Amino acid sequence: MQISIDPVAWTATLLGLFSVAVAIGALRQPGQFAKMVTEIGDSPALQLLSGFAELFIGAVIYLVNPWAAHDLLAMIMKAIGGLMMAEALVVMAISDLYFQVWLKNLAAMRRGWPIATLVLGGVLAIAGMMRFG
């Protein structure tokens, strides 16, 4: 018996649910994103580990999702995976500059980032779940 799964549905759903959970945590504890970025920015070991984790997760998302012009969600997931890999390489190469830019953005949008993350994560999760048979 052959079992087939839809990698697009699973990656979109799981990434969306992860984003929703992170956003809820950040809304419950304002300043959590900025604190996390500060801690990572202060630790070369955390910078390397964060970059590696993002590179690995981005590569998995990129590799398991096909590039199919007729499938908008698959193309979005492939693009997200590619952007994650690019960001991971930037984090590992120029983390001192990169985290300073993020700290300025997070200070200016204390509730904006979590709300945007919540909305986009919810849309991604729902889009992924709609593909389940």
* Domain contains 78: yes
Convert the pLDDT of each residue in 36-74 to its tens digit.
Answer: 878 888 888 988 999 999 999 999 999 999 988 899 999
Residue 101 structure tokens? 């830019």
* Domain contains 1: no
- 71 lies in which domain range? 7-129
* Domain contains 2: no
User: Domain tally for the chain?
Assistant: 1
* Domain contains 23: yes
* Domain contains 100: yes
Task: Count CA within 13 A, CB hemisphere, residue 67.
Answer: 7
* Domain contains 53: yes
Convert the pLDDT of each residue in 12-21 to its tens digit.
Answer: 999 999 999 9
This prediction's pTM: 0.87
